A and B are shown apart, each in its own frame.
Chain A
Amino acid sequence: MLKYTEDHEWLRAEGEEIVVGITKHASDQLGDVVFIELPEAGRAVEAGEEIVVIESVKAASDIVAPVAGTITAVNEALSDSPGDVNGDPMTAWFFRIKPADAGAMDGFMDEAAYKALVE
């Protein structure tokens, strides 16, 4: 199941966890990504907390935790090759989060709603 946030993240439910990345739209807007700073696995985060720094040639931006929970894993490969986010943003995941609440995915947009947002 794939959902989308207003912050242009994609969320994919995998078991009890959610895998988080950014959309093609976000990666296009950012331009060439040159630096990514990921949170530490094990960190407890609040919904909306800025937990990833992403820098393109143009500007710095943040990626927020879509839900409250605990970071269970981060994609270390992105630190070494941040440009992967521009290559295929749907496979370049940033982190996995175990939500504090069940049903955390429910409020987010489906693909049709997200498409309507960005078009």
Chain B
Amino acid sequence: MPDPTRRTGLYDLHVEQGARMVPFAGWDMPVQFPMGVMAEHLHTRQRAGLFDVSHMGQVLVTPDDGQMATAAAALETLIPADVAGLAEGRQRYGLFTNEAGGILDDLMFANRGDHYLLVVNAACAEQDIAHLRTLAGVTVTPVTDRGLVALQGPQAESALARLVPGVADMRFMDSTALDWDGVALWISRSGYTGEDGFEISVPETRLADFARALLAQPEVAPIGLGARDSLRLEAGMPLYGHDMDAGVTPARAALGWSIPKVRRTGGARAGGFPGADVILAELGTAPVTRRGLRPEGRAPIREGVALFSDDGAPIGTVSSGGFGPSVGGPIAMARIPAEIPDGATIQAELRGKRVPLTVCALPFVTPSYKR
């Protein structure tokens, strides 16, 4: 187990900015800044928000024979994604699965020419690294000397381009190394908010300097984990350990889209990952899937609240829920029977009362990626 409260390289800066710090996945992280969750959320949607995501695991997977195909083939035995087909300088979303067809973690992986860079959830990092180390023919190297920040929002490009002009040429899910003040930044055009933006890996020795340089831009404000959660919820993005876990298949988590044709039944490299039989059979046929919910009224319906069909049968539990500042009302997600159509009304049991919710497609806000 890691120390109970590890600090990122931006801890002192957070405190200086007036952050309220909370323990999260073994790290001491800012949950909000003096602006407050609501304003931080809206600032990110309108301008640009800076997030410390240094708690997330960065891992390099390098082929021992120097052939990227070797590393791709190894990773494809753990991840039902098209790793081999990922061009240099590009990034994709994927899942680690288990033999039962459940999800061990979700991740981003990028082809960086002579190795893959993986970014995994903080709480799963140790387990993921051990899992990766079972692979033959590759060397797995946790990145311990870099922090990670995300700059998200419609003005993220203009703010970052003042420091690193090359980012203006990147498109959604590009991944590249660019120089800033003599250090190599590993930058991808991606994020967890539904907004355009960047995730930037920075050498620990310059992490605070870089964050300060970003905060000096007029568009940029520091954003905490509270707004990170409401932003990703509005964007319909699942949170590991809440919206999916080791007992939930990709189809049930509504993440079947991350499994491309080439890995599906009939594809050139079909299966060959843990739980493939269960996972592939359930694509398009899962009895329950993750859906959006719009509660009527203003009361947030939060994680753990029991859900019932209109005739009173139990149909599931809210996996994520809260208030969506951009939506202007409560929003939630849950795995419920696939046969319930969008637009149907179901019920939540909230403080002993039944509250109606409308089932809807995800996301709640339309993403604005630069494709």
Contacts and interface: CB of A to CB of B under 8 A. Distances in A.
B26 interface: no
Interface string A83-108: 00010000000000000000000000
B73 to A, nearest CB: 44
B230 interface: yes
A32 B37 contact: yes
Contacts of A79: 298
B226 A58 contact: yes
A110 interface: no
Nearest to B34: A28
A44 interface: no
Interface string B294-335: 000011101000000000000000000011010000100000
A38 to B, nearest CB: 12
A39 interface: no
Interface residues of B, number: 18
A57 B302 contact: no
B32 interface: yes
B371 interface: no
Contacts of B300: 34-35, 55, 60
B298 A31 contact: no
Contacts of B351: 53
Given A31-B36, A31-B37, A32-B36, A57 B230 contact: yes
A17 interface: no
A106 B39 CA distance: 40
B298 A57 contact: no
A82 B298 CA distance: 10
A46 interface: no
B38 interface: yes
Nearest to A86: B36
A37 B351 CA distance: 11
Nearest to A50: B351
Contact of A32 (B31, B38, B299, B302): B38
Contact of A34 (B32, B39, B226, B323): B323
A57 B299 contact: no
Interface in A15-71: 31-32, 34-35, 37, 53, 55-58, 60
Nearest to A83: B38
Interface in B43-88: none
Given A31-B32, A32-B36, A34-B323, A55 B230 contact: no
A82 B230 CA distance: 18
A35 B302 contact: no
A91 B41 CA distance: 27
21 contacts: A31-B37, A31-B38, A31-B226, A32-B36, A32-B37, A34-B38, A34-B298, A34-B323, A35-B298, A35-B299, A37-B299, A53-B351, A56-B37, A57-B37, A57-B230, A57-B323, A57-B325, A58-B31, A60-B302, A79-B298, A82-B298
Interface of B: 31-32, 36-39, 41, 226, 230, 298-300, 302, 322-323, 325, 330, 351
Q: Which 3 A-B pairs have the closest CB atoms?
A: A32-B38, A34-B323, A57-B37
